[in-house]
Chains A and B, each alone.
Chain A
Amino acid sequence: MGSKRHRFPSTSMQDSILKVPVLPEELIFEILSRLPVKPLLKFRCVSKSWLALISSPEFIKTHLSLSADNKDYTRHWHFMLSFDRPKYNLKECSLSSSVSGLFTEAYDLYFPLKNQSKIIWVVVGSINGLVCFSDPENNLFLWNPSTREYKKLPNFGTDLRYADHSRYGFGYDELHDDYKVVGFIYCSRNWSLNEVKIYSLKDDSWRSVHPPMDGLGVYGSGKFVNGKLHWANHTTGVVFDRFWNIISLDLADGKWEKVDKPCNGEEGGVLVLGVLGNNLCAINGGVLSKDSHLGTDINVWVMKKYLVKESWTKMFTVKYPHCPVSMVAETAFLIPNKDEILLVFGGKFFLYNLKDESITYPKIPVFGFGVDSVVTTYLGSLVSPVLQNGPRTQQEWGVRKLKRTQLCKQ
């Protein structure tokens, strides 16, 4: 207790001056920005000023950065799982903070194309709570699974009848505060690169960009790290060939760059890129083990310092019982606070402990149905795929510019 000096003794009258404390908007902002998305949607109906606050661009941004930095990942990170029964049912699960199980309860996700016949779709990327996916007809969608908002992107502008082969990447251009999708279109007859286009959500349109010098056969979807999208690129144009490199596209200035790869090619096998924490990682699979009956080796590499070749570190090798060439999944998730990496290959879960380098195979609750695959991970956010240049501006929402105090992280 502070040593209280009774020069001005307080009276019970003065104590009762403490009226009903009504918090200023600035503090409501601070409190609400620490909530997950679901309660925020619910609290939109508390009052008109709460609705305006929760919908304001400043709030959405602050909420996003607090959620991304929050050490309690169970609150804000979600796994999107697909189940083979009933048909292509999608559920979201949060990682469990307990050691006993990997996931907590699963909730149904309202997939925008659920009621359509097109059920084969591919996730292009997931950033800031937005998931980009494509269907077999090269239609692209942006979807926020937490708010259920989605948007179909405009047509590519290129006749795709002659280009049955396309690769995409999805990322965020921080400089222009814009979400961008990059598309590689390959000509089906000779698999030559036909065109590279970039879509801006702000402009809601596609424009052509210079193709990379040797972007002959990019594999998989682009991986977003450090403001750039990265692809594994097979320089001879033949996928599964050992001559590959990594190319990157800076989403702010549109420049291509080559990124040093982790090994010198002697590893062979397939290379897929991934993101681990905030680092680019490379999963190199399909290499036969010394004891071939054990299956194949999957090596996981991480570039610990961006663009520093020497910082590529082989984290670990896991043995996969079957040939994974077509099955090497791209899900690698660094579990914060736990020093564990969750990997998913072909529906099988691996937990790698960074401290004691052990590998465990966690059992996951099946929630009544068999898990088919982990589709993607995403952050719970209010970022809207449709309101970027929407009709409701800041003034119309009536939200004054909030002066935020810099808060330290826990």
Chain B
Amino acid sequence: MASTTETKQKKMLILKSADNDEFEIEESVGVQSETIKNLVEDGFTFVPLPNVYTKALIKIIDYLKKHANKTDSNDEEIKTFDKDFVNTTFDDLFELVSAANYLHISCLMNMLCQTIADRIKDKSPEAVRKIFHINCDYTPEEEAKIRKANAQAFEGQFDESLD
């Protein structure tokens, strides 16, 4: 039998997503999020997250669990995990970045923002509009003027793909 001190109960938290799913996680995993940490410090063990949907929350809990167990030896493993984590569609990345921002998980925010930046770097303005669901509010004359003023940035070929 294990001694009683070793089986000391781990503190648990319940996170509730915007679509009302509940997830039980260890407190030590959850407090990597500043938002959750602040609530825990105020004595909460039940954390409603009205801005985070289940799909994103499942992925983020995965991320938090992986990064809570960071040691010197699993550096490569975490790198591979992170690489897979961001290998998804732009819409998914936007969901995740909104959630990470709301939850104040700064390392995840940084990784997601840099990933999105790297992936749009070589794209055309038209492709970027589609990816970000932005309507162009320039008149053709206005747009031509901006393009002319920044002519050096329009040299070469652009990536028109949307993924």
Residues of chain A contacted by B121 (CB below 8 angstroms): 35-36, 39
In the complex with contacts A42-B150, A405-B101, A4-B129 CB distance below 8 A? no
- How distant is the Cα of A203 from the Cα of B132 in the complex, in angstroms? 40
In the complex, are the beta carbons of A34 and B98 less than 8 A apart? no
Query: What secondary structure prevails in chain B residues at the interface with A?
Result: helix
Q: Closest residue of chain B to A21, judged by CB?
A: B94
- Minimum CB–CB distance from A18 to chain B (whole Å) comes to 6
Question: Does A17 lie within 8 Å of B22, measured CB to CB?
Answer: no
Nearest to A24 among chain B residues (CB) is B98
Residues of B within 8 A of A (CB): 14-15, 19-25, 53-55, 57-58, 61-62, 91, 94-95, 97-98, 101, 104, 106-107, 109-111, 113-114, 116-117, 120-122, 125, 128-129, 132-138, 143, 146-147, 150, 152-154, 158
Known pairs A4-B22, A31-B117; A10 contacts B152 (CB<8 A): no
Tally of A-B Cβ pairs under 8 angstroms: 142
Asked whether A3 lies within 8 Å of B23 as measured between CB atoms, the reply is yes
Size category of the binding interface on chain A: 35 or more
Q: Which residues in B have their C-beta under 8 angstroms from that of A3? A: 23-24
Q: Which of A5, A15, A47 gathers the greatest number of chain B CB atoms within 10 Å?
A: A47
Q: Contact between B101 and A26 (Cβ–Cβ < 8 Å)?
A: yes
Q: Is the interface of A mostly helix, strand, loop or mixed?
A: loop
Q: Are B125 and A42 in contact (CB under 8 A)?
A: yes
- The answer to whether A408 and B110 have CB atoms under 8 Å apart is yes
Q: Which A residues contact B (CB, under 8 angstroms)? A: 1-10, 14-15, 17-18, 20-24, 26-28, 30-36, 38-51, 110, 148, 405-410
Contacts of B58 in A (CB 8 A): 1-2, 4
Please judge, given known A-B contacts A31-B117, A410-B114, whether A38 and B55 are in contact too, CB under 8 Å: no
- For the complex formed, measure the closest distance between the CB of A402 and the CB atoms of chain B, giving whole angstroms: 12
The answer to whether A5 and B23 have CB atoms under 8 Å apart is yes
How far does the Cβ of A288 sit from chain B's closest Cβ, in whole Å? 48
Distance between B38 CB and nearest chain A CB, rounded to angstroms: 13
Residues on the A chain within 8 Å of B20, using CB: 8, 10, 14
Set of chain A residues within 8 Å of B107, measured between Cβ atoms: 408, 410
Q: List 26 A-B contacts (CB under 8 A).
A: A2-B57, A4-B21, A4-B22, A5-B22, A5-B23, A10-B19, A10-B21, A14-B20, A18-B55, A20-B133, A21-B94, A21-B98, A24-B98, A27-B113, A39-B120, A39-B122, A41-B150, A41-B152, A42-B125, A42-B158, A43-B120, A46-B129, A47-B135, A148-B152, A405-B101, A409-B110
